[in-house]
Amino acid sequence: MRTTKKYIYDFCEGSADMRTLLGGKGANLAEMSRIGLPVPPGFIITTEACHKYWEEKDFIASIWEDVQAAVARVEKLAGKKFGASVDPLLVSVRSGAPVSMPGMMDTILNLGLNDDTVAALAKSAGDERFAYDSYRRFIQMFSDVVLGVDIVKFEERLAKARENAGVKADYQIPAGELKKLVADYKEIVKEAGREFPTDPWKQLRLAIDAVFRSWNTPRAITYRKINKIPEEYGTAVNVVTMVFGNLGDDCGTGVCFTRSPSTGENKLFGEYLINAQGEDVVAGIRTPVPIAALEKDMPEVYREFHRIAKLLEKHYRDAQDIEFTVERGKLYILQTRNGKRTAAAAVRVAVEMLHEGLIDEATAVSRVSPEQVEQLLHPQIDAKAKHDVLVKGLPASPGAAVGRVVFDADEAAERGGKGEAVVLVRPETTPDDIHGLFASQGVLTSHGGMTSHAAVVARGLGKPCVSGAEAVKIDLAAETFTVGDVTVKKDDILTLDGSSGEVILGKMALMEPKFDENFRELLATADKIAKLHVWANADTPEDAKRARDFGAKGIGLCRTEHMFMAAERIPVMEAMVVATTKEERVAQLDKLEKMQEEDFLGIFEAMQGLPVTIRLLDPPLHEFLPKIPELEKALAKRDPNGAEAKKISATMARARELHEQNPMLGFRGCRLGMIYPEIYEMQARAIFNAACKLTKRGLRIIPDIMIPLVGTEFEMKAMRELVDGVGAKIIEESGVKLEYLVGTMIELPRAALVADQLAKYAQFFSCGTNDLTQTTFGYSRDDAEGKFLAEYVQMGVFKENPFAQLDRDGVGALMEIAAAKGRSVRPDIKLGICGEHGGNPSSIAFCNKLGLNYVSCSPFRVPVARLSAALAALGAIK
Amino acid sequence: MRTTKKYIYDFCEGSADMRTLLGGKGANLAEMSRIGLPVPPGFIITTEACHKYWEEKDFIASIWEDVQAAVARVEKLAGKKFGASVDPLLVSVRSGAPVSMPGMMDTILNLGLNDDTVAALAKSAGDERFAYDSYRRFIQMFSDVVLGVDIVKFEERLAKARENAGVKADYQIPAGELKKLVADYKEIVKEAGREFPTDPWKQLRLAIDAVFRSWNTPRAITYRKINKIPEEYGTAVNVVTMVFGNLGDDCGTGVCFTRSPSTGENKLFGEYLINAQGEDVVAGIRTPVPIAALEKDMPEVYREFHRIAKLLEKHYRDAQDIEFTVERGKLYILQTRNGKRTAAAAVRVAVEMLHEGLIDEATAVSRVSPEQVEQLLHPQIDAKAKHDVLVKGLPASPGAAVGRVVFDADEAAERGGKGEAVVLVRPETTPDDIHGLFASQGVLTSHGGMTSHAAVVARGLGKPCVSGAEAVKIDLAAETFTVGDVTVKKDDILTLDGSSGEVILGKMALMEPKFDENFRELLATADKIAKLHVWANADTPEDAKRARDFGAKGIGLCRTEHMFMAAERIPVMEAMVVATTKEERVAQLDKLEKMQEEDFLGIFEAMQGLPVTIRLLDPPLHEFLPKIPELEKALAKRDPNGAEAKKISATMARARELHEQNPMLGFRGCRLGMIYPEIYEMQARAIFNAACKLTKRGLRIIPDIMIPLVGTEFEMKAMRELVDGVGAKIIEESGVKLEYLVGTMIELPRAALVADQLAKYAQFFSCGTNDLTQTTFGYSRDDAEGKFLAEYVQMGVFKENPFAQLDRDGVGALMEIAAAKGRSVRPDIKLGICGEHGGNPSSIAFCNKLGLNYVSCSPFRVPVARLSAALAALGAIK
């Protein structure tokens, strides 16, 4: 049955925007053809045909006449005949999916050769060696890809041919020897129980079948899974006239980037080989020379190529990665695509193209991914530092890690827990190792792939991981591993590069993040596009300065309890916590007040002109409780009837009283402020005094005071009144004008559910999504991450760890409720997010959708967030 | 300015349904008047007038002509003239709010007397002593209530009069002495700088003013606050013709219940005094005799009274509490109202009136409150047991408590925490005592009222409390207290009755709850009305039997982890928990499986024909972890290189690994089932094997298998598949037909928010509101109750402790979302609640509103829940 649907497009019929139908390669070939570039004639069988192929038995038969007709049109354009005994047309048959899946599917070159056409080719090329070399390559490739014959036999026979000829390289094998080789190749195919088809049409049909078939090989399926490529895409088949770069010194082949893929510099970067086929470049037998050499070898061709390269860049408005062949002085463009590039190159190319007027701001911003920004901001192994790679495994989880080798998860957990930098080395990891993984700087495994337990867990935890380094032989009993003749012992220092898979013995210098002019300009452009402001979480003047330098437009979370963690403050804080009377507590608070005011002076000054959101005390109370065993020891040394002993006993009793089963759900946040209002009064005084002092000096200070862990209207009202009461007095006394807001965290499900009640008193909401995730899921982060959460991610319970990427169905639903209810009462309520999700691109996209005013994240993530906010506004991340 | 609005109603103009306008007393007087009962003539000034009084200065002037006109109508009916010098009309002026506020507002009797009218009264009554006695009473009462003169002076002078006359009781004071008394009383008023008005109209005007004024006295405001009576009600003023029961032996006065207020028996229960005024009965100077005596003294009057009593009961369709006076052989009904009664009486009256056809089923059920049912079901001090009350304080929090006296909160916390029964005795409690209160059986304070810290906190915690027992003199240093000459030492045993305020030295026997035929019938009637079914939470066959006996229609929560708490099972469970390999774990699970099957056989058999919801393991993991210090001790005794020591070390390591910061948010519920499916497989096998065995024996077994702590669709799907997999195999092997459901708890906010996703696999939802309250509020119950929660209730952050009464705005909102989303996917999804709220009336009303299928509560609360479900269906509780 013939089909009426159009499954075949000649190159001249397609264009770049038909990527889905024609595949990436096909669409680009068609596009180049369309704009008059020298592309060898050819046609494309569509991805829709691929679907049909998998649905209908013998689908190829139904389009066969169309294939033949398409070949006929190619023959006309090429001026050659397929299967002809004079100057025969040879074609390549290549896969090409809508998105690139490099090396995953099949390609056959030189199709159309048989004992007859090879002779004709020898004649037309005037080069018998070339013709038989092409023939033997074709047989080998066809047998491998289409017929499934073991390739080893061919390689052995090829080696013998080199031996016979007394040469080292394949291209040196003379024609006579190649003829014998071809004969023997055919014998190998026969011995394998297969038949090598001599009919070029049969070859073509089988090759098309093989390309379609290759869409569903296990490795292709796995690749799609990892790279989240939809199953329904399918691959197209490109049938293209063969051109040859190995017909003499007026021939050649090469690949070229229009701009440097590593730095982004605007200059051709490529390699080329004179008198060679593409395969030779890939195989690495001959060393290609820089593209500049082409200018010397064939100046005309070079000028033409340079013109085309620039034209393609302009046409695609992006840096291109171009494959070309020169056949007897004539340039053919075989492929063009947007060139892959490093993060630094991506930034430079985007900014320079923007300057050149090639792209607009939105496009420039879209050219850099949040992951690339992250890469620029995290320490990497210093690329300039010389290093010997001990072994290379799979780049399973990015980032660099340095630490002492440990072979046991328990030991890693113990030493890592104490702050030592360790690297866990295991044959593979299991759920029982998670606590060790959690406490390590990184993990190296000798087995397992990109989706092994170690890889998935490490990615979930954000730890660098090199997996499947099979050359690593581990002796767990001896606590050593060897790579070849190198032995690495426990406690030796190792550096892992999870981005490249490299493992280096010893401690490598790590590179500080770069923040150059191009980067600043790109982010400034992003800011213009973004709807969300990006603020930062900062607890110290230093953090605040860094945040501002990274482009934060405010402080979204200044955690006052962190200010009490300093060594000299802890005893005062402890004494405040264990105080049993208000007087004792106030005495300690008086000491803390002076310190707090200093803190605020520094932060306010650093952020002058921008809002600073200060969260009143939300201590993990247990961290400030004196430790009972230490008190017991102290008590044992004292006269049991003395005043000292009594005091220690009282402290012990209070510490016991304040001990909590579940501190996460305990006497925290504003609960403390409700029961002991003197604490929050002290903090409010410190804030207002600092703000008023600086305002007097002419600085613009914008404090936003944030009440933590509010769950009820009563709390919000009481705390608002407390702050306003303190504020009114100090502002009046100081005689300055100071505007400030009082708001709350939305970090309890109830706060979201009664947000309308809270908004009566709260002037802003900041979604504390760390805590909100804990209570919404009922997960204690401390407990869950090291226990079941990593396994949940591996099992697929979540696509992403909900502490890293905002859970939209649950936590997000509550945020949506909070935003809607808050606005229903206070339409202009300021809405933000200050959990770690504030720096996560997907989560930022969600915040953009909710129409929040700002996201606040750690200073180091501010650039990622700025870009993400722009991409979200553009709909580029969703 | 005269007003045109009608502010005054004669008795004949009103009726019982005008309670809001006329107040309870006035509406009932009007009603009785309307149906022709002998009520003394009178009129009512409305509650609207009370509002006007508080709004407008000198409002009384504006209605004064109407008051005079009303008095004129009363004069006509009574045949007497107000202020006349012959047979003068005297009136009482009484308050009367829409709801009874006994003793809270003011009353003046005998109004209209002065030096002229008293003589006329003496003449018309033929009794000078009576007239001057009435006069001196009037002066005293008027001076106290209207003029605010200190009553002590009058009492002193009265005592002197008794002395002068050489008599013991007031009614024995002769007329001459009374005349002197009256003169001296007037002197007392003058000395106090007040003037006693002789003009009866002025008396009346001031009395009306005083009654309106009494609506807003501090004690009235406090009473309304405690009893949740709206401020806007206001009081009416009743002006009623005085009738006298003390004019001779054809006179008398009494109160009578139409049915026994303590047992509900259908027979007149009352007391009466011949030749006496109502005051005399109240004052307790003469001891009244049973109402039956009236039959002997005045048979005609008795018959008339009996007729009227039955008529009133029929008229009001409820047992009445009637006040009456007989004046010279003529019966007057002064008041009727629905009689207060004990819980037992309430049940009996309701059921018997239903049998008598007086009321319908809905009314019968509405006549008993959930609190009364609770009273019937909780141990009370045995009423028949003789006991001397040491002291009586305020009945601040109901229930009986027995324990050893402790004076220090820390000590109470420590000893109580270890399981000892202690009673905390304090002058008053403060927030710092809460941990002690929490661990005590009950609390006694010498200071503080019904809203003191101790009272509020105790009610919140459900602990009995007697507060404000001022006679208790506490010596904290000596750790003793005295009441008069009785000294109570630390560790003495005390019994508190928080329902009566009584404190008894020693251990009182407590009465087991009653569950008689009337009670059963009332609840059966309730079941007919209720829309919600009442199920019970039961973990053992014994609990299941009790639940069924109490009328549970299913088991809503059978906690399998409770089954492992038995002493002989703990070691097996511990070994299962610390197992590090699947093999070890399975070995322990095999042992547990046999025990589990036995458990289920017992419960299923007890509940045959009714559904049994079994929750798969949700252990508080830390409770099953071996204690590290104990392991350390055990380790110290072993050869450090021996196998034993190694094993202990391994257990210790595992226990440390499983330790959690926040067990409430940790590795619990189905997380365990996901990571170690073998545990849930074992439980499913035990359930299905037990169910199939009994089904084979012909019993109808209905297991509902409930997955705990589900938060994601993935978990629900996986666990459903696990259970179905085990079930299918066992059911097929056993060859029986068994229907079962698989569902989940809704106990995490996320579960509610993604209920539509869960309902794809869950066949029922049971709202686990204990945990849901914890995560919605971010409160760990263990930590919060003893720390800030009680104070929050006292501060007014919540009206009720959200762990006792469902928080509708937060937790309730999530339940609503869960119900709606669940039904959107599975319209017939079975919905229930199994938190402790399942037994709380207000929470049940909310469940009724949501249209849940059942509430499940502890067996002892099943009767309360059954009644509450009916009342909710009737809209009687909301």
Distance CA A27, CA A17 (A): 7
pLDDT band at A383 (very low <50, low <70, confident <90, very high): low
Structural domain of A416: 379-511
Mark which residues 751-790 of B lie under 8 Å from A by CB: 753-754, 757, 771, 774-780, 782-784, 787-788
Tens digit of each residue's pLDDT (9 = 90 or more) over B639-685: 888 888 888 888 888 888 788 888 889 999 999 999 999 999 999 99
- pLDDT-derived band at A528, boundaries 50, 70, 90: very high
Cα dist from B148 to A453, B194, B195, B210, B214, whole Å: 86, 9, 11, 10, 12
Same domain, A145 and A192: yes
- Residue A449 C-alpha, separation from nearest chain B C-alpha, in angstroms: 22
B49-102, pLDDT tens digit by residue?
Answer: 999 999 998 899 999 999 999 999 999 999 999 999 899 999 999 999 998 887
- Mark whether A303 and A397 lie in a shared domain: no
pLDDT on residue B169: 79
Render pLDDT for A752-773 as a digit per residue (tens, 0 to 9): 999 999 999 999 999 999 999 9
Point out the domain boundary residue: B241, B260, B290.
Answer: B241
Query: Is the confidence at residue A638, as pLDDT, over 70?
Result: yes
Q: How far apart are CA A818 and CA A851, in angstroms?
A: 12
Whole-number Å distance between alpha carbons of A490 and A426? 12
What mean pLDDT is predicted for residues A96-117?
87
Residue A789 has what DSSP assignment? I
Instruction: Check whether residue B416 and residue B547 sit in a common domain.
Output: no
Q: According to the model, what pLDDT value does residue A558 have?
A: 95
- B5-9, B372-376, B405-409, B763-767: segment of lowest average pLDDT: B372-376
Per-residue pLDDT tens for B142-193?
999 999 898 899 999 999 999 999 998 787 899 999 999 999 999 999 999 9
- Are B778 and A747 inside 8 Å of each other by CB? yes
Q: What is the pLDDT of residues B557-574, one digit of tens each?
A: 999 887 777 777 888 888
**What CATH number is given to the structural domain containing B432?**
3.50.30.10
Q: Are A679 and A588 members of one domain?
A: yes
What pLDDT score does B515 carry? 77
Say if residues B100 and B23 touch (Cβ distance below 8 Å).
no
For the cut 60, the answer to whether the pLDDT of residue A3 exceeds it is no
Between positions 404 and 423 of B, the ones with CB within 8 A of A are 410, 413
Tell me the per-residue pLDDT of B780-824, one tens digit each, with 9 for 90 and over: 887 776 678 878 987 889 988 899 899 999 999 999 999 999 999
Distance CA B200, CA B581 (A): 97
Instruction: Assess if residue B415 is contained within a domain.
Output: yes
Q: Are A779 and A801 in contact (CB under 8 A)?
A: no
Higher pLDDT pick, A475 / A263: A475
Where is pLDDT greater, at B227 or A459? B227
Q: Of B239, B220, B238, B218, which Cα lies nearest the Cα of B230?
A: B220
Residues of B annotated as part of the active site: 453, 834
CA distance B829 to chain A (A): 21
CB B806 within 8 A of CB B769: yes
Are the Cβ atoms of B665 and A814 closer than 8 angstroms? Answer: no
Summarize pLDDT for A211-239 with one digit per residue, the tens: 999 999 888 888 787 777 888 899 999 99
Q: Residue A653: list chain B partners with CB under 8 A.
A: 410
- Same domain (yes/no): B675, B534: yes
Q: B110: which residues sit within 8 A by CB, 6+ positions away?
A: B90, B92, B134, B135, B137, B138, B141, B242
Say if CB A678 and CB A586 are below 8 A apart. Answer: yes
The whole-number pLDDT of residue A365 equals 97
B802 within some domain: yes
Dihedral sign for Cα B120, B125, B128, B131, please: negative
Chain segment B400-457, per-residue pLDDT in tens: 899 999 999 999 988 998 889 999 999 988 767 877 888 899 999 998 776 577 876 7
Instruction: Give yes or no for A825 touching B (CB within 8 A).
Output: no
Q: Is A664 within 8 Å of B662 when comparing Cβ atoms?
A: yes
Domain match, A690 and A748 both: yes
pLDDT digits (tens, 9 = 90+) for B263-317: 899 999 888 999 888 776 655 557 788 898 999 999 999 999 999 999 999 999 9
A540 within domain boundaries:
yes
Of A603, A635, A659, which residue constitutes the final position of a domain? A659
Coil, helix or strand at residue A700? coil
* Predicted confidence (pLDDT) at residue A151 exceeds the cutoff of 60: yes
Residue A586 lies inside a defined structural domain of this protein: yes
> What is residue A456's predicted lDDT score, i.e. its pLDDT?
65
Please give the share of chain A, as a percent, with pLDDT higher than 90: 66
Distance CA A765, CA B692 (A): 55
Does residue A505 sit in the same domain as residue A568? no
Residues 6+ away with beta carbon under 8 Å from B858: B536, B537, B836, B839
Q: How far apart are CA A419 and CA A439, in angstroms?
A: 8
**Residue B609: pLDDT band with limits 50, 70, 90:** very high
Interchain contact, B784 vs A749, CB within 8 Å: no
Return phi, psi of residue A477, to 5°. -65, -45
B269 & B181 share domain: no
Q: Which residues of B are annotated as a binding site for Mg(2+)?
A: 747, 771
Give pLDDT tens digits for A777-796. Answer: 999 887 776 678 878 987 88
Q: Which has the closest alpha carbon to B746: B722, B780, B711?
A: B711
Integer distance in angstroms from the first to the last C-alpha of chain A? 44
From the list B431, B665, B754, which residue is nearest A774 (CB)? B665
A453 annotated active-site = yes
Q: What is the ipTM score, two decimals?
A: 0.80
Q: Smallest Cβ distance to A653: which of B410, B666, B748?
A: B410
| Average of per-residue pLDDT values in chain B | 90
Cα gap B135→B63, rounded to integer Å: 28
Of A283, A309, A338, at which residue does a domain stop?
A338
Mapped onto helix, strand or coil, the DSSP state of residue A114 is: coil
Is residue B111's pLDDT more than 80? yes
pLDDT tens per residue across span B683-725: 999 999 999 999 999 999 999 999 999 999 999 999 999 999 9
Residue A23 located in a structural domain: no
The tally of domains found in chain A comes to 5
pLDDT, residue B431, reads: 65
pLDDT greater at residue A433 or residue B716: B716
Cβ contacts of A82 within 8 Å, gap of 6 or more: A71, A74, A75, A88, A89, A91, A112, A200, A201, A204
Q: How confident is the model at residue A97 (pLDDT cuts 50, 70, 90)?
A: very high
Please tell me the predicted confidence (pLDDT) of residue B379.
Answer: 66
What does the alpha-carbon distance between residue A280 and residue A275 come to, in Å, rounded to a whole number? 10
In this prediction, residue B217 has a pLDDT band, given cuts at 50, 70 and 90, of confident
Q: How many CA atoms lie within 13 A of B128 on its CB side?
A: 10
Which domain CATH number covers A149?
3.30.1490.20
Token pair in block for residue B84? 């006349």
Whether B385 and B508 have beta carbons less than 8 Å apart is answered as yes
Contacts of B368 (CB under 8 A, 6+ apart): B343, B346, B347, B350, B522, B867
What is the pLDDT at residue B624? 77
The pLDDT tens digits for B462-508 are 688 998 888 899 999 999 999 999 999 999 999 999 878 899 999 98
Residue bearing the bigger pLDDT, B103 or A8: A8
If phi over 0 gives left and psi between -120 and 50 gives alpha, with beta otherwise, what is residue A83? Answer: left
* One domain, residues B201 and B180: yes
Please choose, from the candidates A18, A31, A13, the residue with its C-alpha nearest in 3D space to the C-alpha of residue A337: A31
Same domain for A719 and A782, yes or no, is yes
* A414-431 confidence digits (pLDDT tens): 899 888 999 999 998 876
The residues, ordered by sequence, that sit 6+ positions from A653 with a Cβ below 8 Å of its Cβ are B410
| pLDDT for position A459 | 64
User: Is the CB of B38 inside 8 Å of chain A's CB atoms?
Assistant: no
Q: Does residue B626 sit in the same domain as residue B614?
A: no
CA A789 to chain centre: 21
Buried b (16+ CB within 10 A) or exposed e, A233-272: bbbbbbbbbbbbbbbbebbbbbbbbbbbbeebeeebbbbb
Query: Mean pLDDT, chain A, as a whole number?
Result: 90
Are B788 and A667 within 8 A, CB to CB?
A: yes
Q: Give the separation between CA B67 and CA B710, rounded to whole angstroms.
A: 70
In a domain, B404, yes or no: yes
A767-771, B3-7, B240-244, B543-547: lowest mean pLDDT where? B3-7
Restricting to B residues 559-598, those with a Cβ less than 8 Å away from any Cβ of A are 580
Block residue for tokens 């086929």: A277
Q: How many CA atoms lie within 13 A of B449 on its CB side?
A: 5
A350 lies in a domain?
no
pLDDT tens-digit series, residues B503-554: 999 998 877 666 789 999 999 999 999 999 999 999 889 889 989 999 999 9
Question: What pLDDT sits at residue A417?
Answer: 82
Mean pLDDT of A500-512: 86
Q: Which residues contact B451 (CB under 8 A, 6 or more apart)?
A: B222, B225, B226
Helices marked H in A550-620: 560-563, 570-578, 582-606
pLDDT digits (tens, 9 = 90+) for A46-55: 999 999 999 9
Using the Cβ of B623 and the Cβ atoms of chain A, whether some distance falls under 8 Å is answered with no
Positions at the binding site of B: 559, 615, 747, 768-771
CB-nearest partner of B797 from A712, A748, A796: A712
**pLDDT above 90 (res B362):** yes
Is B464 part of a structural domain of the chain? yes
A115 touches chain B (CB under 8 A): no
**Which amino acid does the sequence have at B299?**
P
Q: Encoding tokens for residue B62?
A: 């504006």
Instruction: Check whether residue B774 and residue B832 sit in a common domain.
Output: yes
For the stretch A289-322, pLDDT in tens is 889 899 999 999 999 999 999 999 999 999 999 9
